[in-house]
Amino acid sequence: MKVAGRAVLLASLAVASTELLVACGGTSELGDPAPQAAAERNATRSEAIHQGTTAVDPAVVALVERRESCDAAAPLVNCTGTLISERAVLTAAHCVEGPARGVYEVFFGGSAAAANGSYRGIAGRVIDARYETHSDEHDLALVWLAASAPVAPARLVAADALSAAWVGSTARAVGFGATGDEARTPGGKLAGNVRIAQIDSNTLTYDPAPAMTCQGDSGGPLFVEQDGLQLVAAVTTSGDALCERNGVAVRVDARLADFIEPALAAGPPPGEAKIAPEGVCTAVCTSDADCPADLACRADLDGSNRCQLPNLFAGDFGASCTRAAECGAGLNCVPLGDGCRCERACVAPVPLATHAPAGASCAAAPSPPANAGSAFGCVLLAAGLLLRRRRALLNTSCTNRAAQSHAAGPNAAHDEQSGEFRRN
């Protein structure tokens, strides 16, 4: 999403419109594919694991939209994943095709709508080099957390552990997602049994027994039992439109040697940021690696590259907090790494008066180093207000498109080339 040397106007206005397009299934500023057909996935996200029951499985996590404030409403679930090391989460590649750092968080807990869960920011992600958008074969990614997880990781099956002898055996699917059952709270973690129907070189296909994965379960695990242990055997990626007949998952045992183990061995992105959370406003970043925790290097309102959350202005981080009321006037309580900190924006636009007094000028009120003139300040202010509103616009637009797609029927989420439907 970063374009070096963007003009201030593009950094403010174009980003807002482009991000709306990306979130609803368009392309990014660099022409990269957005997280695959996000609006189309949302279209049937009202269904979760069919015939499922409440799951515990602490290592199974939800990939959720990044909260802009720590006292904001419960975030939307995008996908499921499984913690497989202290800081690594295994999920489906199509869940994180677009930028992940600062865009998503990882939720630990039984329900994304519950107040007793915990979050970790995303420091980076690695996608299987052979992944193709319209194929299940290598649909795997590793997401690196910005801080250590609060639970123990799940265990994986051994290399080449699965064979044709497993056909007909039972596996347990686990995943997040809103449910069509009004008695259930949306965003809960559910589990249910499926039957392994076919094993191919990189994937396996499963039938209901009686449960079946559905939208919101992409990236989630299929557990099998071996020697009394629950082991992750595969990662959910797609299935039939109505979530009734079959599902497809990438075999973990087939991808251990050439993707999972090398990615784990390479380790997370560099952990020593050049810029401290308290000094964001006075420092210019050149890449995400310069930034603390899960902040990303982006053009700020005055055109300077600063460390920030992509949906917010850059700001200096102060004391720990749990809600904005603890931070004081003009500050927000913002997620950072494994907690929340009070944040003051580096460039704070002044309120726009309905009727400006005679001779009054419209200008931004930036912290050093920027100092825009009155005419250009009006542009900055308008852009700033648009940026502040863009999340609401994004959610409204995507929700409306999702509702329209859902009303149009299950084919709204169809992958035209594979004939399958992504499970998120």
Q: What pLDDT sits at residue 102? A: 86
For the ranges 32-36, 274-278, 309-313, 378-382, the maximum mean pLDDT occurs at 274-278
CA 335 vs CA 12, 166, 246: distances in Å = 22, 43, 38
Determine what percent of the chain falls in helix, strand and coil, rounding each to the nearest 5: 20, 30, 50
pLDDT at 201: 96
How many Cα atoms within 13 Å fall on the side-chain side of residue 359?
A: 0
Query: Are residues 247 and 173 in contact, defined by beta-carbon separation less than 8 angstroms?
Result: yes
CB 105 within 8 A of CB 66: yes
Residue 355's φ and ψ, nearest 5 degrees, are -130, 105
- pLDDT tens-digit map of 351-360: 545 444 444 3
Q: Could you tell me the end-to-end alpha-carbon distance of the chain, in angstroms, rounded to an integer?
A: 22
The residue-averaged pLDDT of 240-259 equals 93
Are 41 and 95 a contacting pair, CB within 8 Å? no
Does the pLDDT value for residue 53 go beyond 90? no
Q: H/E element holding 17?
A: helix 15-23
Contacts 24+ apart (CB under 8 A), 347-355: 347/300, 347/301, 347/302, 347/313, 347/314, 347/380, 347/384, 348/313, 349/301, 349/380, 349/381, 349/384, 349/385, 350/381, 352/381, 352/382, 352/385
Secondary structure class of 203 (helix, strand, coil):
strand
pLDDT at 71: 87
User: Binning pLDDT at 50, 70 and 90, where does residue 242 land?
Assistant: confident
pLDDT confidence band for 399 (50 / 70 / 90):
very low
- Is it the case that residue 388 has pLDDT exceeding 70? no
Q: Identify the helix (H) or strand (E) that includes residue 255.
A: helix 252-255
Tell me the range of 79-83, 99-103, 360-364 where mean pLDDT is highest. 79-83
Cα–Cα distance for residue pair 232/171, rounded to 1 Å: 10
Q: What is residue 389's predicted lDDT score, i.e. its pLDDT?
A: 28
For residue 14, name the pLDDT band (cuts at 50, 70, 90).
very low
User: Whole-angstrom Cα distance, residue 394 to residue 413?
Assistant: 19
Q: What is the pLDDT of residue 381?
A: 38
Alpha carbon 2 to its chain centroid, in Å, reads 17
**Residue 117's pLDDT is what?**
87
Query: What is the full DSSP assignment across 312-349?
Result: S--EEEEEE-SSGGGT-TT-EEEEETTEEEEEEESEEE
Of 3, 420, 106, the closest CA to residue 243 belongs to 420
Identify the band that residue 349 occupies on the pLDDT scale cut at 50, 70 and 90. low
Write down all domains in the chain, each with its CATH number in brackets: 1-348+389-424 (2.40.10.120)
Average pLDDT, the chain: 75
pLDDT tens for 107-140 read: 999 988 776 789 999 999 999 999 999 899 999 9
